Each structure stands twice: as structure tokens, then as C-alpha cells.
A and B are shown apart, each in its own frame.
Chain A
């Protein structure tokens, strides 16, 4: 019994909670034009990029921080943050992994993301983003053979300006909303992927985001373009050290799918959730939006959200192309004092567009979970349909679960179906499983994984097992 308890205690610890002691180059503290110029300058950006940022910043100054969301948080002092922090060793960009600071290599190894040639994950290309810079991208030569561009966005801005200029801000305009606009002004790094016409990307692309520096916000920017008839599956993972302060991660992710193209975007979000009393943890305020620009295009979001003190995001699809398809599969888990307000938006503009939303929310401890989703079928989107299934599972009686669907249908030939359930893991169910020889943790794992199955199945196989384990670990200690 003692050993088992120890094992459980170990699992309960957030195993990515370490920080790397490394010398940083930082922008001066605070948010102003000079800081934005500093970021643009250090990234050696062309003039048009700086203009983009400054325009966004002008707009930002007019915007008010929203407060309609369910999870409230103490006011963030945007002048008290660092907007750029990167390992000093990255000042002169290392030309190869051999030149990369061993401390960085060690960090990623510890996170289970080996970057070295011989230890790389098979069939997965990784872009590793550490605070405000991408430190390495693997399998680039292999991808280049297929004409695929996969690199840090800061590099794409220099080397592929025609693509970036055309698409950056085309799905999330610089005027969009408070956090998205802030991101447009101060974003630092993230990934860029372009899949050329007719190419099926031969491996998973992935980005691993790591927050390391304290007092620093991470403003990730990712842009993925799937040209006509192409296919790509992309996965992002996220972790951060355990700290008593709350840290802001405000990302913008834009996806563009042209005619007959498909993008599958999966997230396993495991930012530090704060301690069991709710101290510390990441504010994960993210704008993710995909544009099905071409006909017959498809964008599918899958998210497993287990981390962060507050998760606030709605990965969305704009279905502009006729016959385009949007999907959203989500598992969101909140435990202890975590809060989440998440869901999706499906905007049907084209004819015969289809969308599907499968959301599984699990709340335990003192946590609070809201599903918020919009389905909007415009007058021109004839013969379109949406199916939404929204299930909540409660553990214990001190947590909350809420479902807030917004449904607009302006086309009489289109249909929307919404189903929702709320259930609770009962003492009786646990007792039944235990009578059959399972421990209460095993029983919860079995029930929860059964509950999440439909979404877990959507993940690339390599990650489904990891995600399943993560789901179990996130709920450790939430029963009995």
C-alpha cells in the first residue's frame, strides 16, 4: 500500500515542472513601440513585417481586454512583462545541432523530445520553440525533397516573404480581438509549414512549445498552408516549469486549406496547471482559426487540454469553400482549481458545407469547465449541416460544468443538431469496478478513457497512447 501511494504521488507531480538555468537575451520590460522594434530587429525582419506589428499595436491601444468569459483572473499588468526572452546562445543562430547549447539539447531530451539525429522520433518532424525562439527543426532535408517548407516562422518571414505576406493575418486579422491583436504586435516565434500542390506530407509535423523564462509571456505564431490537393497532419505539445506566478501564453494559429486540401491539427496541451491550491500556472489564451478557403477542403482540430490554470480558446473553422468540412474533437480536463472556457466556432459560408463537433469535458476537484461553441450557417450556405455532441463528466461535487451553445441558422435547407449529456462517476460505479479487482485509479482511468474514446481515436497513433496516459495522470487523486 505504501509503495502504491508513493507511485501515485510521483505521478501526481507535474513531471515537466523543472526549469533550465540558462543565460537569456531579453527585450526591455514592458510593452511599447521600442520593444516591438527590438523584437523585429533581433529577428532581422523586413520593413513590411515591422509595419504589420506596429499597425497591430496601434489597434491594440484602442482595444479593451474582454471579460465575458466564465473564468475570471486578476488583472494582468502588460507593462510588467517581458515580451522577448531567448537563450543568449541563440543570438548568433547555431548552424547545426552540434553548435546548439548542450543545456537546450538536455532540456528537450528530458521532455522526451530528442533532437539529435540518432535519437529522433521516427516519422515526426519537430520544431522546438524555447520561450521566444525556435531552437531546432528536425527532418528538414527530408521534407525539402517533397517541396515542403517546415521552419520557424521567423525564418519564413525572411526566406518566404511572398507566402507569409499573402497569408499571415488573412484568417486572424490584426484587428481581430484583444489577445490576437496583441499577438500580432509582439509575436516571437512558432512554426511555418507550406505543403505544395498535390503533396501528401510523408510525416507528422510537430512543434513543441516550452516556456522556460519567468515573468515572460510567450506569443507564439503558427501559420500552416495546405495548397491544392495536399494533406498534412500537424501536432503541437506544450509544457512549462512549475512557478508560483501566472504566465501568459497568447498564441495565434492560422490554417489555410485550398481546394481539395486537408489539414489535421492536433494539440496536446500540458502547460503547468498550478498547484493543488490553485497557485501559479499558465494562462492559455489562444486564438486558433482555420480557413477552408478552397472547395472540398477540410480542417480538423483535435485537442487534449489537460494543463494551464486557465484555458480560454475556441479553435474554429471558416467553411468558405463549397463542400468544405470542419471538425472539432476536444477533451478538456480540469482538476484542482483549474478553469477552462473552450469550444469552437463553425462558420458555414459555402454550399454543402459540413461540420462536426465532439466535445468531452471532465471536471474534478474544485475546477470549473465551460463548453462554449458557435455554429453559424449563413444564408448562402445551402444544404449544409452541423452535428454537435457535447458531453460532460463530473467527478465529486465541488466542480462545475457548463454548456453554452450559440446556434444561428439563416438557411432553411440546412440543419443543425445538438446533443448534450452530463454524467457523474458515481460511488456505485467505482465500487462495482473495485469489486471486479480494479483499484479506484484504474477504475477512473477506464471510465474516463471510455468517455474520451471518440476523441482519442482522432489523434495520430504515436500520440494517442501518450494522451491516454496524460488523461489518467491529470485526474490522479481526484477520487476517494
Chain B
């Protein structure tokens, strides 16, 4: 599904990713763990299409060169990023934002756009599953939401848009244990043979609830070790400093 070969990325003359490679097949859950500054967020930024990076190397998504696609085209093809810091957009009603987004993606997929009633039914169902406060749907997007609510809103969007590849960029940070379980439930519900996940995190605790197929340790811009779930536990015990 996603093939990253020897990716290098520089921003403001600072080299962040240095020969990063990763292969994710349909249905797999990969976790990337690494200390601050190892390049985790840069990786999610680049995959989502954020501008400002100088890059070399190759990223293929279902065989297509990702660099050829605009941010929204990547979203249309099924790449979703749960942002580490979800943006506040004053004046824009959350429901309207979600509906506009869902219909833009449905349209790109050649599916019928949902009318207001169909959409509301769907969003209410999903909110209930995720214990997302329905009143928030009528508020301005993320404005005045707590950190946990913002993160849940990301997962709500993920479950609405049903992407093929979901990238969770430190979605667990700032979540209490209940919220963490809800986020994990959201991921596990969507998990099947076709959908893949890339979970970026500092800590092992999210992986207690979402069992990854592979764990990779990212240090200084590249993967230094890959393994199964046990690697996360090893990492948690040893710490990054003593790794290597």
C-alpha cells in the first residue's frame, strides 16, 4: 500500500529524515516510536503533503508517486492524518466542516454526496460510538475544545472518512486513560484486511490497546530497528538513550 524508499527531507537547511524506508501492506498496523526531534512529525507532514520541505527519495501509495499529488488529492485517495495539533477554525461550524469534507471525498471516489439528513444520521451514530459530545458538533471547529476533545474529533473524522491509510501523529499525547481507550476503539473498529495504520507515538501505552503488527524505532532520521510488539516494551524499559 505505502512504500517509502530512501526518503530524505530537509527544512530550512536542516536535514531531518536521512534515508528513511518503510513498507506498509494492506491491513497492517505499524507503530513508529522515537524521541523528540527524531523526525516523526516530519514524516507525517510529508506524507500528508505539507509544503516547505526539500525532499529526495520515493514514496509510492498504491503504486502512485505521492509527490505528484496535491494534499487534497492524497486525501481523496484515502490517506488520512490525525493531526498532533488539530487546527482551530473560528466561524466554521464543526458539522458543516465534517459534511463538506466527507462529501468532497465521496465525490472524488465517485460516490453520491450525502444530504443533510443522511449526514446527520451518520455523524450522530459515529459520535455515539466515540462518546463524542454531540453539542460540540454545533460549535466552531475545535474552538474551545479541550485537548482530548480535539483528538477525539480527529478520530471521529477518521471514522467518517473511512480512509485506507490512517496516520496517527501522537494522537495519544494529552489523553487520559478513558479517552485513550476510545481512540483505540475507533482504530480497532476500522481495522480490517484492507485498511492500514501508521501510529506515531512516544509511548508504549497506546499500543496496549492497539496491537501493532510491526514496531519501528526512529532515531536521527531513520529507522534503526524494527520488530514486533515486544520491541515497544523493550523500548519503554530501556529508554531511547540506552537503545542502540
Residues of A within 8 A of B (CB): 423, 426-429, 431-440, 442, 446-447, 450-453
Which residues of A are found within 8 Å of B70, using beta-carbon distances?
434, 439
Q: Is the CB of A446 within 8 A of B96?
A: yes
Q: Is the CB of B76 within 8 A of A453?
A: no
Which residues of A are found within 8 Å of B86, using beta-carbon distances?
432
Which residues of B are found within 8 Å of A437, using beta-carbon distances?
72, 75-76, 101, 104-105, 108, 161
Shortest distance between the CB of B107 and any CB in chain A (Å): 9
Q: Is the CB of B92 within 8 A of A450?
A: yes
Which residues of A are found within 8 Å of B201, using beta-carbon distances?
none
Shortest distance between the CB of A277 and any CB in chain B (Å): 27
What mask results when residues 72 to 104 of chain B are scored 1 for a CB within 8 Å of chain A, else 0? Answer: 101110001101001101111100110011001
Given the interface pairs A432-B83, A436-B75, A437-B101, the reply to whether A450 lies near B161 with Cβ below 8 Å is: no
Shortest distance between the CB of A441 and any CB in chain B (Å): 10
* Bound form: Cα–Cα A426–B52 in Å: 14
Most buried by A among B80, B86, B91: B91
Shortest distance between the CB of B114 and any CB in chain A (Å): 14
The contact of B89 among A435, A439, A450, A453, by CB within 8 Å, is: A450
Q: Is the CB of A431 within 8 A of B48?
A: yes
Q: What secondary structure prevails in chain A residues at the interface with B?
A: helix
Q: Is the CB of A447 within 8 A of B49?
A: no
Closest 7 pairs between A and B when the two form their complex, measured CB to CB: A450-B91, A450-B92, A436-B101, A437-B104, A434-B71, A432-B87, A437-B75
Q: Is the CB of B71 within 8 A of A431?
A: yes
Which residues of B are found within 8 Å of A434, using beta-carbon distances?
49, 70-72, 75
What mask results when residues 143 to 163 of chain B are scored 1 for a CB within 8 Å of chain A, else 0? Answer: 000000000000001000100
Query: Which residues of B from 37 to 90 have beta carbons under 8 Å from A?
Result: 48-51, 70-72, 74-76, 80-81, 83, 86-87, 89-90
23 interchain pairs, CB-CB under 8 A: A423-B90, A427-B51, A432-B86, A433-B101, A434-B49, A435-B49, A435-B80, A435-B83, A436-B75, A436-B104, A436-B105, A437-B108, A437-B161, A438-B72, A438-B101, A439-B70, A440-B72, A446-B96, A447-B89, A447-B91, A447-B92, A450-B140, A451-B90
Which residues of B are found within 8 Å of A423, using beta-carbon distances?
90
Which of chain A's residues has its CB closest to B142's CB? A432
* Bound form: Cα–Cα A433–B157 in Å: 12
* Bound form: Cα–Cα A451–B90 in Å: 7
Which of chain A's residues has its CB closest to B105's CB? A437
Which residues of B are found within 8 Å of A442, using beta-carbon distances?
100, 104
Most buried by B among A426, A436, A437, A446: A437
Which of chain B's residues has its CB closest to A451's CB? B91
Tier of interface size on chain B? 20 to 34
Most buried by B among A427, A438, A440: A438
Shortest distance between the CB of A430 and any CB in chain B (Å): 9
Given the interface pairs A432-B86, A435-B49, A436-B104, the reply to whether A450 lies near B93 with Cβ below 8 Å is: yes
Which residues of A are found within 8 Å of B75, using beta-carbon distances?
434-437
Which of chain B's residues has its CB closest to A427's CB? B51
Q: Is the CB of B87 within 8 A of A429?
A: yes
Sample of 20 more A-B contacts, CB < 8 Å, known A435-B71, A446-B89: A431-B50, A431-B51, A432-B86, A433-B101, A435-B80, A436-B97, A436-B161, A437-B108, A437-B161, A438-B100, A438-B101, A438-B104, A439-B70, A440-B72, A446-B96, A446-B100, A447-B89, A450-B89, A450-B90, A451-B90
Which of chain A's residues has its CB closest to B141's CB? A450
Shortest distance between the CB of B146 and any CB in chain A (Å): 18
* Bound form: Cα–Cα A435–B48 in Å: 7
Shortest distance between the CB of B174 and any CB in chain A (Å): 18
* Bound form: Cα–Cα A434–B97 in Å: 12
Shortest distance between the CB of A471 and any CB in chain B (Å): 13
Q: Is the CB of B157 within 8 A of A429?
A: no
Which residues of B are found within 8 Å of A446, using beta-carbon distances?
89, 92, 96-97, 100
Which of chain A's residues has its CB closest to B48's CB? A435
Which residues of A are found within 8 Å of B80, using beta-carbon distances?
435
Shortest distance between the CB of B17 and any CB in chain A (Å): 19
* Bound form: Cα–Cα A12–B140 in Å: 29
Shortest distance between the CB of A417 and any CB in chain B (Å): 20
Which of chain A's residues has its CB closest to B81's CB? A435
* Bound form: Cα–Cα A423–B157 in Å: 25
Shortest distance between the CB of B170 and any CB in chain A (Å): 16
* Bound form: Cα–Cα A296–B90 in Å: 35
* Bound form: Cα–Cα A435–B83 in Å: 10
Shortest distance between the CB of A424 and any CB in chain B (Å): 11
Which residues of B are found within 8 Å of A436, using beta-carbon distances?
75, 97, 101, 104-105, 157, 161
Which of chain B's residues has its CB closest to A421's CB? B90
* Bound form: Cα–Cα A39–B149 in Å: 67
Shortest distance between the CB of B167 and any CB in chain A (Å): 10
What mask results when residues 20 to 50 of chain B are scored 1 for a CB within 8 Å of chain A, else 0? Answer: 0000000000000000000000000000111
Shortest distance between the CB of A62 and any CB in chain B (Å): 47
Which residues of B are found within 8 Å of A429, using beta-carbon distances?
87, 89
* Bound form: Cα–Cα A294–B123 in Å: 50
Query: Which residues of B from 111 to 146 have beta carbons under 8 Å from A?
Result: 140
* Bound form: Cα–Cα A426–B87 in Å: 10
Which residues of A are found within 8 Å of B49, using beta-carbon distances?
431, 434-435
Which residues of A are found within 8 Å of B157, using beta-carbon distances?
436
Which of chain B's residues has its CB closest to A436's CB? B101
* Bound form: Cα–Cα A202–B72 in Å: 47
* Bound form: Cα–Cα A394–B71 in Å: 23
* Bound form: Cα–Cα A451–B86 in Å: 19
Most buried by B among A423, A436, A453: A436
* Bound form: Cα–Cα A452–B92 in Å: 10
Shortest distance between the CB of A439 and any CB in chain B (Å): 5
Which residues of A are found within 8 Å of B105, using beta-carbon distances?
436-437
Shortest distance between the CB of B235 and any CB in chain A (Å): 29
Shortest distance between the CB of B89 and any CB in chain A (Å): 6
* Bound form: Cα–Cα A145–B234 in Å: 88
* Bound form: Cα–Cα A438–B49 in Å: 13
* Bound form: Cα–Cα A451–B93 in Å: 10
Which residues of A are found within 8 Å of B81, using beta-carbon distances?
435
* Bound form: Cα–Cα A435–B85 in Å: 13
* Bound form: Cα–Cα A428–B81 in Å: 13
Which of chain A's residues has its CB closest to B160's CB? A436
Which residues of A are found within 8 Å of B87, using beta-carbon distances?
426, 428-429, 432
* Bound form: Cα–Cα A447–B93 in Å: 10
* Bound form: Cα–Cα A447–B80 in Å: 21
